[in-house]
Structure 1
Amino acid sequence: MDLGLKGRNVLITGGTKGIGRQCAEIFAEEGANVAICARDNAGVTETLAVLKTKGVTAIGRGVDVANGHALQSWVKDSAAALNGIDIVVGNVSALAVSEDEVAWDASFEVDMMHSVRLVNSAMPFLQRSNAAAITLISSVSGREVDFTGPAYGAFKAALVHYAQGLAMKLAGSGIRANTVSPGNTYFPGGVWENIERNNPDLFSEALAANPTGRMGRPEEIARGVVFLSSPASSFTTGTNLVIDGALTKGVQL
């Protein structure tokens, strides 16, 4: 299937590892130009080297997305360098799973406000695209109460609500907005590898909750993100795509 991504311009926050990295690589494989950001400058440099081997324009910068000015500058500079924006993917999370106020503050600034600022900064450019799409990464923790902290789940749920509102507001302008809610996703250097090493009891509990007998892989989530963001999914907006291997038990109506 041709996803219609060749020559499109995509911005991805947190594009150097895990789901974000796989999104960047798959978009590039489909012929899209990609701009990434992450806090890790070395990771940005390494990722760009890989993306450029795929024959597309790839640019990036070290950015702390909790810094609104830095995030907005990256969006505007990326749009200038790529000559426009067609797709934005808000992928960064603070992964704040404690129950203190620090977790609430971090989740608000990183998970929620980074997404809002990303969308607002990109909007003037998305309005000029004939295939504009916004995809925000939520979580199954936004669908049901689990072992993560209350702030993490609350703001992941808020992202779904926010994207649904954008979808309704922007439908007449031809700008789509969706969320993807991954289940437990394992990759080297990721949170679940850390838990496996340092909290094996929790890891075993989480693994046992997965009906498939395993956790997801980043590329399995990223394929859904790329399709949902692509012109091939042109009539899909206001949707929360759950990719969790039947982990969650709630029925999504």
Structure 2
Amino acid sequence: MELGLNGKRFLVTGGTRGIGRAVVEGLLAEGAAVAFCARTADAVETAQSDLASAGTALGTPVDVADTAAVAAWVAGAAEALGGIDGLVANVSALAIPNNPDNWRSSFDVDLMGTVGLVEAALPHLLASGAGSIVTISSVSGREIDFAAGPYGTVKAAIIHYTQGLAGQLAGRGVRANTVSPGNTYFPGGVWSSIEENDPELFATALGLNPTGRMATPQEVANAVVFLSSSAASFITGTNLLVDGALTRGVQF
């Protein structure tokens, strides 16, 4: 299947590791140019070096909770790439325990980081004529699980926000979709840490998935890349679960 991504220009937040890194790699493999960001300068520098031979990948240290910094990054990326055709809002504070600090960081990073990115990029997406927005939520935004509280509540809000965008922008040439991953395992990630520090929780989570395993970042990224492409040109306003049948409820 031809995805039609060759020569397209994308923004990806949280692009140095895990799902974000796999999304950057997937877009580059399809011939897109990518500007990515992450909060840690050293991680951005390492990723930039690793990706140098894969295509045009421009890395910048950015804290997505800083709305002004996000707007400046988007403007610089649009100038460097000659425009923006799509974005992937991937950053999360991963603030799960129910306390005031986690509510605030979830709101500032997960939700407002997404809103700030979309608002800064929207004029460029409209100019593209075929713009794409993909936000990353979670199965925890759809079901009540161990991450109910700040994380799950804000992830649910991201789905609602994105579907609202889809309705508002459908007649203006911009699509908006959400990908909701199930538990995703990669070295150095949250589930790798839980496996080491809370093996009982890890075993419980693993046992809930009928596949007997967790997703890989690449499996989630495949869905993101497809929804970002012209092959998905009539798909907007959807929330795509990538969870190996982890969730049990029927999604209408």
Q: Return the TM-score normalized by structure 1.
A: 0.98
SS at match of 1:128: helix
Partner Cα distance (2:229, 2:202) in 1: 34
Aligned to 2:65: 66
Provide structure 1 residue ranges, at least 5 long, that are not aligned to the other structure: none
Aligned to 2:46: 46
Aligned to 2:2: 2
Letter in 2 for 1:140: V
- The offset of 1:46, in angstroms, is 1.9
Aligned to 2:159: 160
- The offset of 1:155, in angstroms, is 0.7
SS at match of 1:127: helix
Structure 2 residue 143 is matched with structure 1 residue 140 = no
SS at match of 1:65: coil
- The offset of 1:252, in angstroms, is 0.2
Aligned to 1:92: 91
Partner Cα distance (2:82, 2:233) in 1: 22
Aligned to 2:22: 22
Structure 2 residue 224 is matched with structure 1 residue 225 = yes
Asked if structure 2 preserves the Cα contact closer than 8 Å seen for 1:63 and 1:71, the reply is: yes
SS at match of 1:206: helix
Residues 72-123 of structure 1: CA distance to partner in whole angstroms, max 9, x if unpaired?
Answer: 1111110111010000000000000011111110110000000000000001
Asked if structure 1 preserves the Cα contact closer than 8 Å seen for 2:85 and 2:130, the reply is: yes
Asked if structure 2 preserves the Cα contact closer than 8 Å seen for 1:96 and 1:149, the reply is: no
Partner Cα distance (1:40, 1:179) in 2: 25
Letter in 1 for 2:42: A
Aligned to 1:37: 37
Asked if structure 1 preserves the Cα contact closer than 8 Å seen for 2:166 and 2:175, the reply is: yes
CA RMSD of superposed structures (Å): 0.8
Aligned to 1:116: 115
Letter in 2 for 1:98: P
5 Å-filtered alignment, 1:231-246, equals 231-246=230-245
- The offset of 1:164, in angstroms, is 0.5
Structure 2 residue 191 is matched with structure 1 residue 192 = yes
SS at match of 2:103: helix
5 Å-filtered alignment, 1:163-174, equals 163-174=162-173
- The offset of 1:135, in angstroms, is 0.2
Letter in 1 for 2:247: T
Partner Cα distance (1:69, 1:82) in 2: 20
SS at match of 1:136: strand
Q: Return the TM-score normalized by structure 2.
A: 0.98
The list of structure 1 runs, each at least 4 consecutive aligned residues, that deviate by more than 2 angstroms after superposition, is 49-52
Provide structure 2 residue ranges, at least 5 long, that are not aligned to the other structure: none
Aligned to 1:150: 149
